[in-house]
Amino acid sequence: MKIMVIGSGGREHALAWKIRQSALVDEVFCVPGNPGMDSVGPCFDVDPTDIQNMQELVLQIVPDLVVVGPEAPLAAGLSDALRARGFDVFGPSQRASQLESSKGFAKDLMAKYDIPTAAYGRFTDLTAALDYLETQSPPYVIKADGLAAGKGVVICQSLEEAENEVEAMMTGKFGDASSEIVIEEFMEGEEASIFVLTDGEGAIYLPAAQDHKRVGEGDTGLNTGGMGAYAPAPVVTPRLLELVQTLIAEPLITGMTEDDMPYQGVLYIGIMVTDQGPKVVEFNARFGDPECQVLMAGLPGDIVPALLTCATGGLALGHRQITDMMGLQSFQPSATVVFAANGYPEAYVKGEVIRGVDEAGAVEGVMVFQAGTDLDDTGQLVSNGGRVLAITATGDTLNEAFSKAYAGVNHVDWPGGFYRRDIGWRVRQ
Ligand code: AMP
Ligand code: GLY
């Protein structure tokens, strides 16, 4: 079987690595990939949001399954275009992926299906938005409707700050992405990420994960894509997961299928564990990064039957067999630490030599997934992005997974990079 993995981050390196281990798979193709993914299978330098070129590439390679990693190609309609040509795709349609690409769309669907989430207002008119703000109490949660590279949510403590933010967003702060905004009630609690594999009917719940969004130790500083993660997250008890399943995932998946936009792929549910139970913070139409790295590392079995069945249907029927093949019951605690370029998530330099990646990967139980990396003219590994490496490890316990991940980190020699030393502080003993 030939499988194409779309994307170039640590998430996609982990997916490609895991998929390559399947006995069902002969070859993995990566688009556009990165130097880490290049060691898994050939990389093709095509922009995944360029639907025309992507169709041409897929017609050349004829993969048995296309796995879409990031949100941008989904929002651009890649899954629809490839499905229309008869290819099997792990990744929701453009319409279904609006769960991520339009916060207002997601909020309206949750209201329709009676899914617990923060109360909200949705606005395209500045005066109406400002009037609504006055009826709310602090802190104020202001969200750009569209995709804003993870920066589209601002939490304001004062009314004045909130008014300024609303005005900035609605007058072009994130271009088109913030011409419409959502203003939300603030939810108090601990956050966790739930990942559901679905074909629009059946569902497989992966172990819950937690990531660290802030750049600084103690969860301080600016928001990032994620500086580290671990799974399973003990805050998500079996009882809580059951509530997420019955109150959130099932009504959403069933409702979307009934509304003629079946969701096929991985549904990422960001929840707040509040005093009143789990509430939705956000949906994403893809795996989290770096949560995907710990999920792929921790699953001992074969992920391919699950991915394939999400694309082709029949998940409910094959559920038991597919979860057995994945080794879901034997999931190994896992952790990942992100090594990022100094300055990230603001300006940073690229092109600095990184040494010790092979040594880190040689530590027992450690895998190094590459994200923003490149090779220079002499073939040396250099930095080429903000988040650069995800040093990932499994262990018999979460503590052991953290120790091993940091043992891996210690082998990496990259003066231009930094990492948080407190990943997993909530659960480390
Ligand atoms: P989002 O992109 O919607 O996940 O928002 C980014 C981050 O903002 C979340 O991970 C939360 O930490 C925070 N956030 C978003 N919405 C709320 C809310 N209604 N109440 C409290 N925190 C929120
Ligand atoms: N790690 C959070 C995300 O992928 O959105």
Per-residue pLDDT reduced to its tens digit, 347-401: 999 999 999 999 999 999 999 999 999 999 999 999 999 999 999 999 999 999 9
The percent of residues in the chain predicted with pLDDT above 90, rounded, is 98
Q: How far is CA 224 from CA 43, 290, 391, 397, in A?
A: 27, 11, 17, 27
The mean pLDDT value of the chain amounts to 97
Pocket test for ligand 1, best of 120, 155, 165, 210 (most atoms within 8 A of CB): 155
Q: Which atom of ligand 1 is nearest to the CA of 187?
A: 20
Please say whether the structural domain 190-330 has been given the CATH code 3.30.2140.20: no
* Predicted confidence (pLDDT) at residue 44 exceeds the cutoff of 90: yes
141's CB contacts (< 8 A; 6+ apart) are: 118, 153, 154, 155, 183, 184, 185, 186
CATH no. of 119-184: 3.30.1490.20
Q: Which pLDDT belongs to residue 183?
A: 97
Q: Which pLDDT belongs to residue 170?
A: 97
Q: Stretch 239-263: mean pLDDT, rounded?
A: 98
In CATH terms, 2-98 corresponds, of 3.30.30.10, 3.40.50.20, 3.30.540.10, 1.10.1740.10, to 3.40.50.20
The model's pLDDT over 97-110, given as tens digits with 9 standing for 90+, comes to: 999 999 999 999 99
> Would you say how long the chain is, in residues?
429
* Predicted confidence (pLDDT) at residue 229 exceeds the cutoff of 90: yes
Q: Which atom of ligand 1 is nearest to the CA of 281?
A: 16
Please answer whether residues 3 and 364 qualify as being in contact, where contact means their C-beta atoms are separated by less than 8 angstroms. no
Q: Which pLDDT belongs to residue 151?
A: 82
Using the mean position of ligand 1's atoms as its centre, give its distance from the Cα of residue 312 in Å: 33
Using the mean position of ligand 1's atoms as its centre, give its distance from the Cα of residue 186 in Å: 8
* Predicted confidence (pLDDT) at residue 296 exceeds the cutoff of 90: yes
Q: Which pLDDT belongs to residue 150?
A: 78
* Predicted confidence (pLDDT) at residue 11 exceeds the cutoff of 90: yes
Q: Which atom of ligand 1 is nearest to the CA of 152?
A: 2
* Predicted confidence (pLDDT) at residue 429 exceeds the cutoff of 90: no
Using the mean position of ligand 2's atoms as its centre, give its distance from the Cα of residue 61 in Å: 30
Using the mean position of ligand 1's atoms as its centre, give its distance from the Cα of residue 41 in Å: 36
* Residues lining ligand 1, Cβ inside 6 A: 118, 141, 153, 184, 186-187, 191, 213, 270, 281-282
Look at 24-38, 75-89, 146-160 and tell me which has the smallest mean pLDDT. Answer: 146-160
Dihedral over Cα of 154, 157, 161, 162: its sign: positive
- Amino acid identity, residue 138? P
The model's pLDDT over 127-169, given as tens digits with 9 standing for 90+, comes to: 999 999 999 999 999 999 999 887 899 999 999 999 999 999 9
Using the mean position of ligand 2's atoms as its centre, give its distance from the Cα of residue 47 in Å: 21
Residue of 55, 67, 57, 59 whose CA lies nearest to 91: 67
Query: Whole-prediction pTM value?
Result: 0.97
The model's pLDDT over 282-295, given as tens digits with 9 standing for 90+, comes to: 999 999 999 999 99
Shortest-distance Cα residue to atom 2 of ligand 2: 288
The residue extents of the domains of the chain are 2-98, 119-184, 190-330, 334-418
Shortest-distance Cα residue to atom 1 of ligand 1: 282
Can you read off the two tokens belonging to residue 41? 């299978």
How far is it, in rounded angstroms, from Cα 231 to Cα 207? 6
The percent of residues in the chain predicted with pLDDT above 70, rounded, is 100
CATH architecture of 334-418: Alpha-Beta Complex (3.90)
Q: Could you tell me the pLDDT band of residue 54, with boundaries at 50, 70 and 90?
A: very high
Q: Could you tell me the pLDDT band of residue 72, with boundaries at 50, 70 and 90?
A: very high
Strand order in the sheet with 89-90: 27-32, 2-7, 65-68, 89-90
